[in-house]
């Protein structure tokens, strides 16, 4: 063939061999160089373009690797046939992700106080872990999470929640979103689950994404209605017994016993989500359901999202031996989704006592904020009453008004306040009067009074009772 007359630019930041490769590739794609065309030898093309033979050799090597040309012994380089790409007219549009809206006061119930995190202590442990002598952490670890972390979690659970387990029973993963689908996978597809109503929306979504059948179970002042388990065809149940989300109720002892007996008789499982048990402000800690279980019927599930930080994405579950064996068989080829450096930093944080110190500080911080909130709402009674104030990072407001909870949410939104309604967490059950969730953890203590006054003002609720005149 005739010599390839490409213009190369020696001053360009793109290497000469890459420029030559791109020119030849484009000529092949455009059919300027037809299938079967013989390319010039490396020596001749290098002389013609005034480049080294190595430059041509590198360009040809890349074309060979990508399948644009072939090399025939003692014959040279030839253009290979290319499949013509079908081009569909029109282009697909990709909608941008919605931007996160900012609020003057964000009362979302799942937030924490990020300003109180012990950055210096965490940084010190991280620095100790990320060191050359820990090079083995660059390799993959155990599918269940590294043993040292599971040992720390097992010790912590025994002392704080009365959970009886060995480190071998613990599975570490990237939060509930990863662990719960794995757990569901260990149970048969025909399993019908009972879930609390109202309850955590993500849990319901995970059941739906896994195509799992579920039955909503009503909740009253003593927790989930256990007697409905027998009335419905339920095979397993998901509960938050220590601090029901979002109502804040505690599952009574009698119902706990009935629930455990039901699971034992049916030879099925209870999934206990102990999502924020660290933060209880009155009385003794509520014992975990797992600590009462004598028949290996409870799967204990929790995370570090509330106690440390949501972005850490470390959760864990404690599996009874029968499910553990099933897990190891099914997931033996998997690896733990939590990076090992994060696992070992958390291990050092717990082993040093810094985790317990942090929890103690946060309990005091959140208790002060809760007391401020309760005091700030006093003048608005009895139009606004509070429940669920014994634990957790939010309270429930019951509002005596003719407006719906959705209307109250919209009024708050218009005033720059984000607040969730109890109705947002319900499936079938309905509120007798508007109830809303006031998350107090993330707001600075000094702004809580202003936030409450502004919320009451947008709802046209004035201070009543002995504190002033009520406006409706």
Q: Where are the domains of the chain?
A: 1-94, 117-352, 358-467
pTM above 0.95, yes or no: no
At 430, the pLDDT band (50, 70, 90 cuts) reads confident
At 2, the pLDDT band (50, 70, 90 cuts) reads low
- Give yes or no for residue 10 having a pLDDT over 80: yes
Same fold, 1-94 and 358-467: no
| Alpha carbon separation from 64 to 55, 72, 79, 83 (Å, rounded) | 14, 11, 10, 16
- Give yes or no for residue 472 having a pLDDT over 70: no
Question: Who contacts 49 (Cβ-Cβ below 8 Å, separation ≥6)?
Answer: 4, 6, 8, 20, 56
Answer yes or no: are the C-beta atoms of 163 and 289 closer than 8 Å: no
Reduced to 3 states, what is the DSSP secondary structure of residue 215? Answer: strand
Q: What is the pLDDT of residues 226-278, one digit of tens each?
A: 999 888 889 999 999 999 999 999 999 999 999 999 999 999 999 999 999 89
Q: What is the pLDDT of residues 376-429, one digit of tens each?
A: 999 999 999 999 999 999 999 999 999 999 999 999 999 999 999 999 999 986
Whether CATH 3.40.50.300 fits 117-352 = no
Class of domain 358-467: alpha beta
Class of domain 1-94: mainly alpha
At 3, the pLDDT band (50, 70, 90 cuts) reads confident
Q: What is the pLDDT of residues 60-103, one digit of tens each?
A: 999 999 999 999 999 999 999 988 767 666 777 888 988 889 99
For 307-325, what is the mean pLDDT?
Answer: 96
Please state at what angle helix 340-351 crosses helix 354-377, rounded to 10 degrees: 80
């Amino acid at each position: 063939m005739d010599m390839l007359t490409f213009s190369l630019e020696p001053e360009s930041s793109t290497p000469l061999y890459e420029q030559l490769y791109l020119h030849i590739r484009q000529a092949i794609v455009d059919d300027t160089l037809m299938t079967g065309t013989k390319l010039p030898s490396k020596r001749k093309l290098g002389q013609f373009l005034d480049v080294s033979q190595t430059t041509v050799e590198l360009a040809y090597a890349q074309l060979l690797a990508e399948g644009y040309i072939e090399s025939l012994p003692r014959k040279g380089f030839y253009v290979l046939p290319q499949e013509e790409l079908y081009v569909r007219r029109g282009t697909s549009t990709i909608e941008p992700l919605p931007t996160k809206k900012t609020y003057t006061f964000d009362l979302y119930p799942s937030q924490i106080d990020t300003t109180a995190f012990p950055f210096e202590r965490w940084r010190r442990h991280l620095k100790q872990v990320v060191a050359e002598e820990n090079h083995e952490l660059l390799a993959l670890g155990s599918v269940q999470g590294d043993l040292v972390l599971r040992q720390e979690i097992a010790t912590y659970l025994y002392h704080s929640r009365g959970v009886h387990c060995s480190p071998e029973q613990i599975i570490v993963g990237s939060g509930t979103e990863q662990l719960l689908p794995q757990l569901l996978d260990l149970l048969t597809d025909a399993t019908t689950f009972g879930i609390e109503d109202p309850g955590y929306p993500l849990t319901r979504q995970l059941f739906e994404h896994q195509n799992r059948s579920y039955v909503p179970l009503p909740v009253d002042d003593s927790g989930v209605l256990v007697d409905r388990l027998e009335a419905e065809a339920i095979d397993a149940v998901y509960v938050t017994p220590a601090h029901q989300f979002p109502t804040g109720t505690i599952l009574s002892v009698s119902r706990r016993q009935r629930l455990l007996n039901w699971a034992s008789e049916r030879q099925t499982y209870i999934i206990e989500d102990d999502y924020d048990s660290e933060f209880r402000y009155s009385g003794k800690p509520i014992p975990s359901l797992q600590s009462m279980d004598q028949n290996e019927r409870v799967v204990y599930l929790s995370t570090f999202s509330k106690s440390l930080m949501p972005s850490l994405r470390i959760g864990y579950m404690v599996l009874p031996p029968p499910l553990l064996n099933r897990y190891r068989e099914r997931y033996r080829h998997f690896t733990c989704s939590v990076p090992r450096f994060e696992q070992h930093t958390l291990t050092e944080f717990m082993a040093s006592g810094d985790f317990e110190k942090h929890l103690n500080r946060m309990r005091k911080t959140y208790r002060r904020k809760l007391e401020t909130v309760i005091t700030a709402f006093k003048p608005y009674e009895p139009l606004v009453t509070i429940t669920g104030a014994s634990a957790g990072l939010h309270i429930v407001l019951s509002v005596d008004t003719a407006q719906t909870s959705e209307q109250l949410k919209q009024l708050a939104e218009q005033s720059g306040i984000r607040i969730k309604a109890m109705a947002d967490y319900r499936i079938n059950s309905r509120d007798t009067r508007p109830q809303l969730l006031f998350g107090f953890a993330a707001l600075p203590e000094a702004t809580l009074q202003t936030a409450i006054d502004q919320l009451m003002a947008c709802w046209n609720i004035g201070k009543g009772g002995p504190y002033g005149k009520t406006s409706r």
